[in-house]
């Protein structure tokens, strides 16, 4: 329900869009943007297994699109909390969008920080792991982990292939410095250090209502931000339309079924709220551009009902179908 409500509020080319929501007897269904290019994790590790990871220009492009998506969320007072390569999806043209907002949380108007343990081990920020209150800053720590992984083909708090339990991982994130492979050039290392700063005040992030501070970093000097925002900056990689970018076809969709459960009246009331439908912002814009909205909203004199919508006189014997 949280994901449906949040998706209904956001409108960005860098976040998957919700077309509509409905329910069947056994499923709750969200119909969203189709993303055929696979997720970033698959591209990092499985497209070229002998040379995992991305070149700097490709990682920079994806990070820039993620920043634009997260800025939109944060301007809507939404903390994402689950950024990771698996949740960043490519479309047919090679652009990426943030997906899976199931752990996102919306701040109230008078609320500036929250508490709560949520996220993926290895990506959660120190302040969250310590049980402190936090704000949008946790999302920029996850961006730092994601960017590091795009470049190094491993997380910043473990060696490649190393199995680390969550307790040890938590200790490393809170206390230990990050070491950078030789392939990290100066600007790449600098931006990761800024995003992975353990102290919130030292971390790059959402400041004064925007991410302009991050955009100004030298790592992004090759990005034309206006072209990126308009969707006309050519991607560094275009997926092959004949290729399925997944290890297993079962990975392409995410479905779950719970059987043998009888819904009570209160359950049905709750789920009916989910199935309230949703006219997404892109669809609203299309209705306006095509003139459909205007055609459906013609009013009579003084804002009254137009003649063709007037109820027939009570004495009329005609039938309406």
What residues are annotated to the active site?
82
Whole-angstrom CA distances from 262 to 271, 276, 293 are 13, 21, 41
Beta bridge partners of 30: 21
Cβ neighbourhood burial of 263 (10 Å; 0-12, 13-18, 19+):
exposed
CB atoms within 10 A of CB 55: 13
Nearest to 57 by CA among 177, 137, 150: 150
Neighbouring-strand partners of residue 31: 20
Cα distances (angstroms) measured from residue 302 to each of 293, 294, 298, 307, 313 = 19, 17, 12, 13, 21
Cα 175–chain centre separation: 29
Determine the Cα–Cα distance for residues 267 and 246; give it in Å rounded to an integer: 35
Alpha helix segments (H runs only) across 181-305:
186-195, 212-215, 225-230, 265-274, 281-289, 292-296
Q: Residue 223 and residue 63: Cα distance in Å, rounded?
A: 10
Helix 186-195 to helix 137-152 angle, to the nearest 10 degrees? 150
Say how far apart CA 98 and CA 313 lie, in whole Å: 55
């Amino acid at each position: 329900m949280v994901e449906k409500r949040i998706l209904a509020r956001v409108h960005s080319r860098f976040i998957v869009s919700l077309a509509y929501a409905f329910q069947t007897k056994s499923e709750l269904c969200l119909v969203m943007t189709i993303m055929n290019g696979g997720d970033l994790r698959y591209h990092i590790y499985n497209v070229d297994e002998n040379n995992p990871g991305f070149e700097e220009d490709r990682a920079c492009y994806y990070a820039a699109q993620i920043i634009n998506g997260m800025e939109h969320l944060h301007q809507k007072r939404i903390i994402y909390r689950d950024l990771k390569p698996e949740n960043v999806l490519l479309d047919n043209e090679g652009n990426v969008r943030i997906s899976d907002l199931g752990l996102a949380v919306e701040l109230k108007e008078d609320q500036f920080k929250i508490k709560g343990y949520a996220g993926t081990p290895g990506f959660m920020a120190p302040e969250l792991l310590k049980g402190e209150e936090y704000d949008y800053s946790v999302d920029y720590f996850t961006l730092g982990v994601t960017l590091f992984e795009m470049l190094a083909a491993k997380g910043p708090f473990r060696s490649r292939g190393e199995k680390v339990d969550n307790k040890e991982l938590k200790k490393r994130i809170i206390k230990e410095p990050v070491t950078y492979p030789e392939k990290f050039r100066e600007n790449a290392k600098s931006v990761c250090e800024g995003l992975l700063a353990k102290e919130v005040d030292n971390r790059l992030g959402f400041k004064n209502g925007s991410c302009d501070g991050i955009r100004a970093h030298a790592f992004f000097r090759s990005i034309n931000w206006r072209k990126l925002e308009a969707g006309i900056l050519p991607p560094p990689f275009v997926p092959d339309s004949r290729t399925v970018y997944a290890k297993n076809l079962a990975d392409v969709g995410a479905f779950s079924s719970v059987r043998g459960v009888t819904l009570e009246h209160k359950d049905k009331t709750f789920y009916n709220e989910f199935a309230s439908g949703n006219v997404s912002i892109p669809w609203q814009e299309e209705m306006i551009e095509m003139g459909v909205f205007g055609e459906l909203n013609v009013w009579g004199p003084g804002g009254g009902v137009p003649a063709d919508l007037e109820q027939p006189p009570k004495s009329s014997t005609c039938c309406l179908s």
